[in-house]
Amino acid sequence: MTSLTIARPDDWHLHLRDGAMMRAVLPHTAQHFARAIIMPNLVPPVVTGAQALAYRDRILAALPEGMDFAPLMTLYLTEDTDPDDVEAAHASGLVKAVKLYPAGATTNSASGVADFGKIRDTLDRMAKIGLPLCVHGEVTDGDVDIFDREAVFIDRVLDPLRRATPGLRVVMEHITTSNAVDYARAQDDTLAATITTHHLVINRNHILAGGIKPHYYCLPVAKREEHRLALRNAATSGETRFFLGTDSAPHTDANKLLPCGCAGCFTAPNTMAILAQVFEEDAALDHLETFTSRNGPNFYGLPVNDTTITLTKTPSTMPTHVNTEEGPVTVFDPGFPLEWSAH
Ligand code: DOR
Ligand code: ZN
């Protein structure tokens, strides 16, 4: 196959940031994606419906003339979140999900949840109104090895939380382990899981073998090769519960290359070209549209986009950096030349 036209993809997990950074990165998502679930981990976080509305307006104002893109807003769940505000933001059509960060799990997660008892009323309300919970699934306990934090989260937090909140729709975000794939496959259709592009391409050797590579450091951190292969199997399977959430997370090089550097891979510019290659390698190009364009809207109860994107088997060259007023941001390097182009 040398050309593939599919329904326009959506990104079900994206960091757009704000201000100058947002203006620089937004066109890279909007050129390929019709919609994206926008992460609320700004400083300060997007906690209320009013804050989400203001953030959406800033995104739309930053969208270059002639580009068509719909930001799907989320609220950042805190121990003080007001269930009535969540319900109103959902009822108005503004907010499509609520995001749960365990306190301290990742970038700007200090306002996240430490005492899960304190979010009970909000979770019950979300189950009642059918609003999905997007979960950063890692425990933060210092005594749990960072490579085990996702698997431990499933047993200690996620499964009890779901049992205590029947009917709650949950997205396990950016899964990185075979444990998460197995768990997702064993659940009913209230549970889905997103997979990033970079976790289909790198394992932990990419970060640590032959010198430390900060641009491959993200959270959850990439795991062993056997886990990457389990993710490839899940993403390319065509199963309805798995869909794309890139977790494209731009940081300036200055912030990545510190003694304590930021977590995140910036994949917005080359995600679709990389995915075409991954799915072709796994003889699964017929499932690419399912993963990028159909399963996500199906879970969120939204229509599949009626516009299309065409992928052609012509080598693409990506810029290594995107320049922003805050400094350059390195584009994720998959480690192989791109054989596909996205139009
Ligand atoms: O690598 C990551 N970067 N993982 C996250 O969960 C947050 C994100 C960010 O905001 O930079
Ligand atoms: Zn993220």
CATH number of the structural domain spanning residue 28: 3.20.20.140
CA distance 21 to 252: 9
CA of 62 to the centre of ligand 2 (A): 21
Cβ of residue 199 lying under 6 Å from some atom of ligand 1: no
Q: Which residues pair with 321 in a beta bridge?
A: 330
- Alpha carbon separation from 256 to 41, 80, 259 (Å, rounded): 17, 32, 9
Distance from the alpha carbon of residue 97 to the mean position of ligand 2, in angstroms: 14
What is the spatial distance between Cα 339 and Cα 311, in angstroms, rounded to a whole number?
10
For 93, residues 6+ apart whose C-beta sits below 8 A from its C-beta are none
Residues pairing with 170 in the sheet: 133, 191
Interval between CA 276 and ligand 1 midpoint (Å) = 24
Residue 3 pairs in a beta bridge with: 312
How far does residue 2's CA lie from ligand 1's centre (Å)?
A: 34
**Which mutation among 18, 262, 265, 267 tests ligand 1's pocket best, with the greatest number of atoms within 8 A of CB?**
262
In sequence order, the 6+-apart residues with CB closer than 8 A to the CB of 132 are 96, 97, 98, 126, 169, 170, 171, 299, 300
Q: Which residue owns the Cα nearest ligand 1 atom 4?
A: 219
Minimal-distance CA residue to ligand 1 atom 10: 107
Residue with structure tokens 């300036």? Answer: 252
Tens digit of pLDDT at every position of the chain (343 positions)? 899 999 999 999 999 999 999 999 999 999 999 999 999 999 999 999 999 999 999 999 999 999 999 999 999 999 999 999 999 999 999 999 999 999 887 777 778 898 989 999 999 999 999 999 999 999 988 999 999 999 999 999 999 999 999 999 999 999 999 999 999 999 999 999 999 999 999 999 999 999 999 999 999 999 999 999 999 999 999 999 999 999 999 999 999 999 999 999 999 999 999 999 999 999 999 999 999 999 999 999 999 999 999 999 999 888 899 999 999 999 999 999 999 999 8
Q: Which of 219, 221, 223, 246 to mutate to test the pocket of ligand 1 (most atoms within 8 A of CB)?
A: 219
Whether the CB-CB separation of 230 and 237 falls below 8 Å is answered with: no
- Residue 99 Cβ contacting ligand 1 at under 6 Å: no
Which atom of ligand 1 approaches the CA of 105 most closely? Answer: 6
Instruction: Verify whether ligand 1 is closer than 6 Å to residue 51 (CB atom).
Output: no
Q: How many angstroms does the Cα of residue 13 sit away from the middle of ligand 2?
A: 6
The pLDDT of residue 318: 84
Our answer to whether residue 247 is catalytic in this structure is: yes
Is the CB–ligand 1 distance for residue 297 below 6 Å? no
Count of domains in the chain?
A: 1
Closest CA to 227 of 163, 156, 175: 175
Catalytic residue among 82, 247, 286, 306: 247
Q: What is the sign, positive or negative, of the torsion defined by CA atoms of 117, 122, 124, 130?
A: negative
Measured from the Cα of 264, ligand 1's closest atom is 1
SS3 string of 183-204?
Answer: HHHCCCCCEEEEECCHHHCCCH
Q: Do the bridges between strand 308-312 and strand 3-7 make them parallel or antiparallel, or are there none, so unpaired?
A: antiparallel
Neighbours of 307 (CB within 10 A): 8
DSSP assignment, residue 278? H
Does the C-beta of 248 come closer than 6 Å to ligand 1? no
Range of the domain at 304: 3-342
80: Cα separation from own chain's centroid: 24
CB 107 near ligand 1, within 6 Å = yes
Report d(CA 74, CA 332) in Å as an integer. 25
Order across the sheet with 10-14: list the strands: 10-14, 35-38, 70-76, 95-100, 133-135, 170-172, 191-195, 242-244
Q: Tokens 């389990």, residue? A: 230
What is the 335 CA–ligand 2 centroid distance (Å)?
Answer: 22
